[in-house]
Amino acid sequence: MEHTLQAAAHATGPLPTHAAGYLWLIPFLPLVGAVINATMGARLQRRFGKGLVHVIGVGTVALSFVVACIAFVQMWGLPPEHRFLQNTVWNAFTAGKVSVDLGFALDPLSMMMALAVTFISALIHVFSIGYMADEPSYWRFFAYMNLFVFSMLLLVMGDNFVLMFFGWEGVGLCSYLLIAFWYTDPQKAAAGMKAFITNRFGDFGFVVGVFLLFWALGGAWQQAPDGKTKYVETDAHAAAYVAAARGEGQGVPHVEIGPTLNFRLLRDQIVNTDTGVAEKLKAQKMFGFGILGVIGILLFVGAMGKSAQLPLHVWLPDAMAGPTPVSALIHAATMVTAGVYMVARLNFLFALSATAMGWVALIGALTALFAASIGFFQYDIKKVLAYSTVSQLGFMFIGVGVGAYWAGAYHLLTHAFFKATLFLCSGSVILACHHEQDMRKMGGLGKPMPITRWTYLVACFAIAGFPWASGFYSKDEILWKAFTQEGLKFLGMPMPYLGQLIYLIGIVAATGTSFYMFRSYYMTFSGEYRGHGHRHLPKESPLSITLVLVALATGAVLAAVIGIPYAWTGHAPLLEHWLEPALPAIVHFAEKSHATEYLFQLIGVSVGVIGWVAARALYKDGRSQVPARLLLRWKRAWTVVYNKYYVDEIYQATILRGSVGFARLCSWFDKYIIDGLVNLAGAIARVAAELDGAIDRYIVDGAVNLVAGATLAAGRGLRRLQTGRIQTYLYGALAGAIAIVFLNFLLK
Amino acid sequence: MPHLTLSHFLVVSALLFGFGVLAVVTRRNAVAVLMGIELILNAANLNLVAFGRYVAGGISGQVFGLFVIVLAAAEAAVGLAIILAIYQMVRNIDTSQATTLKE
Amino acid sequence: MNTQFAIFVFLALATLIGAASVALSRNIFWSAMGLLSCLVGVGGLYVMLSADFVAITQLLVYIGGVLVLILFAIMLTSQIQEISVSNRSVGLVGGYLIFFVVSTLLSFVALWAPWRLTSKEPVANTTVALGDGLLGTWLLPFEIASVLLVATLVGAIVIARKEVKSDS
């Protein structure tokens, strides 16, 4: 492609930053809301009703959106390569080479995320007013939601790994709290714990990755005896650089070197080739593997946990136990995209290692296909959406994996809009059907609920990739970039066709996406209402819900504007242009003609249509008998897929059983081997003791008995002193101490 | 107002020590006695750090302080475990009642 | 200097009022709260002595560990309703006597003894210095302390657990 990201990469100097002293307000405001509702919410609710609680909850998030908009305006006014707002509040701690600031930074990428997070969560907060109206602990819900927004903004805006990790854990915690919101139901509480524990596995990888990165950055520099920092290897660049850092040379701008946790500093070190950091990292090995690959894979393990990628995806479908606004906010729009954001944030690092890129893209592609196939046969409407989320996250990872970072970020944005729409529509449907989630008991809801129906349909078109809605632009850009990426490696081995393979997997998954989404649409909204168990027919939801649906669906369509591809207009897409300064990685794609690109876009649209037509033929109005017949024919395969490929059961059998088995093994070892040794030693000792005892009994005892008799007599006499009360002893001890002090004075 | 000197800290520490002794001597509840011991340890620790700052210089006082904190934590854990064990045995933690060893 | 002295007075008051309530409060729960105030105050005094790492350790170990442990012990050993009666004091006269004697004597020593003050500036980056010290000069005590902690851990578990009769 002719408009690669070269331009930004040529900026060799440190990134210019601009102070913006108000940035801390963006995460701080939701925190204030959370604290107020958490500490005083119960009282406020009793005193002033639920109105005040949600005014605080929604108001703080909306205000933080306004502040984010102000930041956006400021950033818009700056020249592109200067778009970096920094607000360091104070130095959190410094210990040796680790220095961590409580600092917030916005570059175009985090700006996009901050706007999306605050905007969508403000809307979802509004939706919750209607959805949670009957909930007694209303205040608790809003406190958790605000806390979640705070953690997410910390994750997005923190300017170093520590703050990001803080937010990373914070969203995990809030996710646990909100999934288990109705904690009296053991199943829901268990779902919360499952999410938490699965996330821990991922977080462990993330932390180890960060440590390893820190270590790798520091290893080759040494403190010279004269106190100056020196590069150990005799690298011409580095020598020139060190000279410049000391202010001797000229032309090489000053970048601080050495281990760092700060994103901007890391970016400067790696992007600026004069520092030699990039070469050093590339050359460094650990156990024969390139250390960059190991770091990338470990960091991605963290992303796998948070973003529900194979094989750590198991928690996300279970997370649907939480209230629907939670599913929309956390498990569709924001938290699960944290992994994608992290990879995009560290694009300069991942781009250095083809191994890490190939790993990310391959896992993404496999997840996309795997989750889409499970989505085919689910009956719970929220489960369908959950697997669809897992699958779409897979697409995002294909994007950031093959090096199309802006496309991954763009899909993140469009997905946030259409998936939030879908989830909130499903919430509206669930509310109307009296908390029924089984699509077999729905149907015919299109007539009584027109707004929900149309917004759901719009979002379906968006996710299936029809060219008038946003999903098409992001998904096709990702798949096209995957096809033209030929430099990927798999665990160190070059595989030029890995990109094409990923494209193929992706296109099959896209067909599946279109099929199961329209299946859910037809099962829910067409035909006759099948839920006859209830007396009332479903009716449209209140205004606070429908308004949000319309706003989000509009967003899902309009987001298309910022991603119209280069081949159509001759200009880079708006969003790509906007994100350019934040994505300095240089990634090469194969050159292909525009005709080929058009052909691939045609394929993309046609697979969407195929899925739509198939779903329409099979599920419209619920009349067709074909699904039932197919089901009978492929019963065995269906059972395997319906039970989610038994992944949960496999975990149960391997990891849980395994750890219990290991514990048993240890116990056995302890009982028979260790105890046996001890008994042997005991037996030897006993024989020796028998001998010794014979001597003892006749010679020593006589003497001992004499002493013992004397001691006993003395003890009888002295026992009266022992009152058994500590207090008495203490008086004695202190009296002694005081006496010694006085004696000291007297003797002087 | 005067300049901060070593004596200020020592006086605070002396009073802290006194309160600790008072708690240990007068309390009947074993947990409260343990709290008094914590006060005494804190007073000693404050002295160590203050001497380290004003008299010895360097960090040796702080290292001592750290070790005392570690020991205090260990002591509290064992002490409370003993209290719990006594409670399980006699359903009471009054120090004047636990006199089984006396006879 | 004035602000510094004001902060010192504030911290000292927090410490001493907390300590007084540990020693004198009727309700053992309030005693525990007094201990909290006292420990925080002492932590603040450590900061004033430029011992920031010790201050943080004080907060972590004492307030995060010991105080929580004490609260647990209170909850486990007394019916909550009876907390107020289970904190009797005895021998208050003797107690006050020893309190006054000990604290006046110590204060007297603190104020009048000719301390040989050092002119050294306090160490700025105590974390690094302490880390070097603990793994250098004081390595042996450090290791012994770790052994002690293991022994404590095992001992506390053994003492506090309920005896379970095994069938096998």
Angle among Cα C15, C16, C22 to the nearest 5 degrees reads 95
CB-closest option in C94, C109, C128 to A95: C128
Q: How far apart are CA B49 and CA B51, in angstroms?
A: 5
User: DSSP string of A579-624?
Assistant: HGGG-----------HHHHHHHHHHHHHHHHHHHHHHHHHHGGGT-
Out of C69, C111, C122, the one facing B7 most closely (by C-beta) is C111
**Residues of chain C with C-beta less than 8 angstroms from the C-beta of B68:** none
Report yes or no: B27 at the C interface, CB cutoff 8 Å: yes
Chain C contact probe: residue of A738, A742, A745, A746 with most C CBs at under 10 A: A738
pLDDT 10s digits, A395-418: 999 999 888 888 889 999 888 888
Axis crossing angle, helix A543-558 with helix A470-484, rounded to the nearest 10: 40
Residue C156 lies in a domain: yes
Task: Pull the structure tokens for residue A616.
Answer: 């329409």
Q: List the one residue out of A216, A188, A116 whose CA is nearest residue A555.
A: A116
pLDDT digits (tens, 9 = 90+) for A633-649: 777 777 777 777 777 77
User: Is the Cβ pair B22, C96 closer than 8 Å?
Assistant: yes
Say yes or no to pLDDT of A135 above 90: no
Smallest Cβ–Cβ distance between A734 and the set C91, C102, C127 belongs to C102
Enumerate residues 6+ apart whose C-beta is below 8 A from A716.
none
Name the closest residue on chain A to residue B96, using Cα atoms: A725
Any CB–CB contact under 8 A between C102 and chain A? Answer: yes
pLDDT at A40 over 60: yes
Whole-angstrom Cα distance, residue A160 to residue C152? Answer: 39
Which residue spans within A485-608 are E strands per DSSP? 489-490, 493-494
What chain A residue is nearest to B95 in terms of C-alpha separation?
A: A725
Residue of B nearest to C39 (CA): B42
pLDDT attached to residue C86: 52
Q: How is residue A492 annotated by DSSP?
A: T
Residue A609 region by backbone torsions, left for phi larger than 0, else alpha for psi between -120 and 50, else beta = alpha
Give the sign of the dihedral formed by CA A669, CA A675, CA A676, CA A677: positive
Interface test with B, best of C68, C77, C87, C127 (most B CBs within 10 A): C77
Q: Are A20 and A87 in contact (CB under 8 A)?
A: yes
Interface residues from chain A to C (CB-CB < 8 Å): 94-96, 727, 731, 734, 738, 741
For range A587-605, the mean pLDDT: 82
Buried b (16+ CB within 10 A) or exposed e, A660-691: eeeeeeeeeeeeeeeeeeeeeeeeeeeeeeee
Side-chain-side CA neighbours of A401 within 13 Å: the count stands at: 34
- Whether the CB of B102 is below 8 Å from some CB of chain A: the reply is yes
Secondary structure of A388-456 in HEC code, one letter for each residue? HHHHHHHHHHHHHHHCCHHHHHHHHHHHHHHHHHHHHHHHHHHHHCCCCCEHHHCCCCCCCCHHHHHHH
Residues in chain B within 8 Å Cβ distance of A731 = 25
A287: left (phi over 0), alpha (psi -120 to 50) or beta: left
Q: Which residues of A touch B101 (CB under 8 A)?
A: 724
Residue C133 lies in a domain: yes
* Chain A contact present for C94, CB below 8 A: yes
Q: Per-residue confidence at A336, pLDDT binned at 50, 70, 90?
A: confident
In angstroms, the CA A472 to CA A478 distance is: 10
pLDDT the model gives residue A716 = 75
| Burial letters A553-564, b for 16+ CB under 10 A, else e | bebbbebbebbb
For residue C117 the two structure tokens come to: 């003050």
For C99, the closest of B18, B53, B69 (CB atoms) is B18
Model confidence band, residue A534 (pLDDT cutoffs 50, 70, 90): low
For residue A727, list chain C residues with Cβ-Cβ distance below 8 A: 91
Best B19, B21, B97 member to test A by mutation, with max A CBs in 10 Å, is B21
Report pTM: 0.69
Contact A97, A215 (CB under 8 A): no
Residue C50 sits in a domain whose CATH number is 1.20.120.1200
ipTM of the complex as predicted = 0.86
Q: Residue holding tokens 């027919």? A: A537
Q: Is the pLDDT of residue A332 over 90?
A: no
Q: Is the pLDDT of residue A536 over 70?
A: no
* C92 belongs to a structural domain: no
DSSP class of residue A229? E
Report the pLDDT value the prediction gives residue A5, as an integer from 0 to 100. Answer: 36
DSSP character at residue A310: T
CB proximity A736 to B under 8 Å: no
Last residue of a domain, one of C78, C109, C139: C78
Q: Are A81 and A581 in contact (CB under 8 A)?
A: yes
Enumerate the β-bridge partners of residue A91: A101
* B:C CB pairs within 8 Å: 244
Q: What is the pLDDT of residue A282?
A: 80
Contacts of C100 in chain B (CB under 8 A): 18
| Tokens, residue C162 | 């309920």
* Residue B33 with chain A: CB contacts under 8 Å: 726
Residue of A411, A416, A326, A328 lying closest to A114 (CA atoms): A416
The shortest C-alpha distance from A381 to chain C (Å) reads 45
- Residue C21 sits in which domain range? 1-78
The string of pLDDT tens digits covering residues A540-594 is 778 888 888 898 888 888 888 888 777 777 777 888 888 888 888 777 887 777 7
CA B84 centroid distance within chain? 19
Distance from CA of A724 to the nearest CA of B (A): 6
Give the chains touching C; criterion: ≥3 Cβ pairs < 8 Å: A, B
Q: How many CA atoms lie within 13 A of A597 on its CB side?
A: 17
The answer to whether residue C96 sits within a structural domain is no
Q: Does residue C117 form part of some domain?
A: no
Q: Report the distance separating Cα A116 and Cα A122, nearest Å.
A: 10
Please name the amino acid found at residue A127. F
Chain A residues touching C94 at Cβ < 8 A: 731
CA distances in angstroms from A452 to A325, A426, A447, A553, listed in the order given = 15, 8, 10, 10
Average pLDDT, chain A: 81
Q: Do C127 and A96 touch (CB under 8 A)?
A: yes
Q: Determine the residue among C11, C17, C25, C118 to mutate to test chain B binding: the one whose Cβ has the most chain B Cβ atoms within 10 Å.
A: C118
Query: How many C-beta atoms lie closer than 10 Å to residue C6's C-beta?
Result: 11
Asked if the C-beta of C114 comes within 8 angstroms of chain A's C-beta atoms, the answer is no
The total of other beta-carbon atoms located within 10 Å of residue A599's CB is: 12
User: What does the pLDDT look like over A55-110, one tens digit per residue?
Assistant: 888 999 999 999 999 999 998 888 887 888 888 888 877 776 778 888 899 989 99
Confidence of residue A118 (pLDDT cuts 50, 70, 90): very high
Contacts with A119 (C-beta within 8 Å, 6 or more apart), sequence order = A65
> Is pLDDT above 60 for B100?
no
> And the tokens for A274?
């004069």
CA distances from A520 to A130, A154, A374, A375, A469 (A): 24, 36, 13, 10, 19
Return the residue of B nearest to A716 by Cα: B103
Distances (CA, A) of A244 to A15, A268, A276, A608: 17, 15, 13, 56
Chain B interface disruption, residue of A727, A729, A741, most B CBs within 10 A: A727
What span, in angstroms and rounded, lies between the C-alpha atoms of B55 and A632? Answer: 88
Q: What is the domain count for chain C?
A: 2
Residues of chain A with C-beta less than 8 angstroms from the C-beta of B103: none
Q: Where residue A486 falls among pLDDT bands split at 50, 70, 90?
A: confident
Domain assignment of residue C149, yes or no:
yes
| Distance set, CA A33 to CA A36, B3, C63 (Å) | 5, 43, 28
The whole-angstrom separation of Cα A151 and Cα A28 is: 10
Residue A741 distance to chain C (closest CA, Å): 9
| B37 inside 8 A of chain C by CB | no
Binary contact (B95, A725; C-beta < 8 A): yes
Q: Residue C128 and residue A96: Cβ atoms within 8 Å?
A: yes
Chain C residues with CB inside 8 Å of B90's CB? Answer: none
Residue-level length of chain A: 748
| CB nearest to A731's CB, from C98, C109, C131 | C98
Gap from C34 CA to chain A (nearest CA, Å): 22
Query: What is chain C's length?
Result: 168
Q: Does C73 sit within 8 Å of B84, measured CB to CB? A: yes
The model's pLDDT over C102-161, given as tens digits with 9 standing for 90+, comes to 888 888 888 888 888 877 777 777 888 888 888 888 999 999 999 999 999 898 888 877
Instruction: Choose among A258, A237, A260: nearest CA to A249.
Output: A237
- Domain for residue C110, yes or no? no
Contact list in A for residue C131 (CB cut-off 8 A) is: 96
Q: How far apart are CA A204 and CA A208, in angstroms?
A: 6
Chain C residues within an 8 Å CB radius of B10: 106-107, 109-111
Report the neighbours of A using a cutoff of 3 or more CB pairs below 8 angstroms: B, C
Whether the CB-CB separation of A471 and A563 falls below 8 Å is answered with no
Question: Which residue in A333, A282, A272, A361 sits closest to A117, CA to CA?
Answer: A333
Does the distance separating the beta carbons of A95 and C127 come in below 8 Å?
A: yes
Residues C72 and C139 in one domain: no
Residue C49 lies in a domain: yes
Q: At what angle do helices A161-179 and A138-157 cross, to 10 degrees?
A: 160
pLDDT at A7 over 50: no
Distance CA A382, CA A367 (A): 18
Check CB contact of C97 with chain A, cutoff 8 Å.
no
Which tokens belong to A142? Answer: 């809003």
Which of chain A's residues have a Cβ under 8 Å away from the Cβ of B99?
Answer: 724
B101 and chain A in contact, CB less than 8 A: yes
A695 C-beta neighbours (distance < 10 Å), count: 10
Strands A85-95 and A18-19: parallel
Q: Which residues contact A629 (CB under 8 A, 6 or more apart)?
A: none
Distance between C110 CA and the closest CA of chain B, angstroms: 5
